[in-house]
Amino acid sequence: MGKFMQGYLDEQFMELEELQDDANPNFVEEVAASYFKDSARLINNIDQALRRGPLDFNRLDSYMHQFKGSSTSIGASKVKTECTMFREYCRAGNAEGCLRTFQELKKEHATLRKKLEHYFQVQASDQLCVINQLQNMC
Partner 1 sequence: MDKGFSPVGLRVLVVDDDPTWLKILEKMLKKCSYEVTTCGLAREALRLLRERKDGFDIVISDVNMPDMDGFKLLEHVGLELDLPVIMMSVDGETKRVMKGVQHGACDYLLKPIRMKELKIIWQHVLRKKLQEVRDIEGCYEVGADWFTRNDEAHYLGGGEDVSFGKKRKDFEFEKKLLQDESDPSSSSKKARVVWSFELHQKFVNAVNQIGCDHKAGPKKILDLMNVPWLTRENVASHLQKYRLYLSRLEKGKELKCYSGGVRNMDSPPKDAEFSSGHQSPGKSSYVYSGGSSLVHKAETDPKQLASSSVSDPSSDVHMPPKGKKKRIEFEPPISSSVFDSLLPWSDVPDPLESKPQILFESSFLQQQPLLPSQSPYVVASAPTLMEQEMKPSYETCVNADEFLMPQNKNSTVINQDVSLSTPSAISCMKLQESSSNVNNDTESILRSLNWELPESHHSGFIDTDLDFSWLHGEHLLANTGLQNFQFQDYSSSSSLLSELPPHLWFGNDRLPEPDEYTLMVDHGLFIS
Task: Summarize as ranges the residues that interact with partner 1 (CB under 8 A).
Answer: 12, 15-16, 19, 24, 27, 30-31, 34-35, 37-38, 62, 65-66, 68-70, 72-75
Report whether 38 contacts 79 (CB < 8 A): no
Q: How far is the CB of 104 from partner 1 (least distance, A)?
A: 19
Between residues 42 and 98, which has the closer beta carbon with respect to partner 1?
Answer: 42
Between residues 21 and 96, which has the closer beta carbon with respect to partner 1?
Answer: 21
Between residues 30 and 126, which has the closer beta carbon with respect to partner 1?
Answer: 30
Cα 7 → chain centroid: 12
Q: How far is the CB of 19 from partner 1 (least distance, A)?
A: 5
CA dihedral 116, 118, 122, 123 (to 10 degrees): 20
Q: How far is the CB of 69 from partner 1 (least distance, A)?
A: 4
Three-state DSSP at 6 gives strand
Q: How far is the CB of 33 from partner 1 (least distance, A)?
A: 9
Between residues 37 and 54, which has the closer beta carbon with respect to partner 1?
Answer: 37
Report whether 46 contacts 102 (CB < 8 A): yes
Distance CA 81, CA 77 (A): 6
Distance CA 33, CA 126 (A): 20
Between residues 23 and 134, which has the closer beta carbon with respect to partner 1?
Answer: 23
Q: How far is the CB of 132 from partner 1 (least distance, A)?
A: 30
Distance CA 99, CA 121 (A): 33
